[in-house]
Amino acid sequence: MVAPTATVILDRDGVINADTVECVRSVSAWQPLPGSLEALAQLRRAGWQVVVATNQSGVARGLLSRRELASIHEHMCGEVNAAGGAIGAIASCTHGPEECCGCRKPAPGLIHQLESRLGRSLQDAPFVGDAERDLQAARAAGCRPVLVRTGKGRRTEKVADLSGVTVYDDLRAFVRCLLGETSA
């Protein structure tokens, strides 16, 4: 069993659920990736806390409302809970890329928001993402960058700086390695 404050940070689209061309716009469009719900349940059983840091510029672009985003997150948490997992907190950036805010990944603002909510540092916590901006945000906040090949991950693997990054086929493979069931 790990310490009760051990935390894993996850990106949402492409890591937990299937990514779409523009954005996940509705509860019905949110589809978990194969094995992701089970992986989240494994983390909970092993004593890990899961938090999510996600860019959701679809709100700024008028593709969905904040209320619709909240409904998607409620649905996601319900699906994760039904599978035996839990999400402790979600930090979302609803700004567009042109707004140059401090919370939109690759900036570390979402991670700092999560630290504030949790009341502790997330430095050295694994941050699992599928895009280069996830890896950059992890590095900027002092987290351990992890890339999964789902979502944009295969493309990211070909073009991103992977120094210090561990790479896994999917969230399930990462969790198995984290829990000592397999090696990277």
Q: Which residues are catalytic?
A: 11, 13
What does DSSP assign to residue 72?
H
Beta-bridge mates of residue 49: 7
Cα angle for residues 140, 142, 145 (degrees, 5° grid): 85
Per the DSSP assignment, residues forming a β-bridge with 127 are: 9, 145
Q: Which residues contact 81 (CB under 8 A, 6 or more apart)?
A: none
Let me know: does 33 contact 150? Beta carbons within 8 Å. yes
Which region holds residue 62: left if phi is over 0, alpha if psi is between -120 and 50, else beta?
A: left
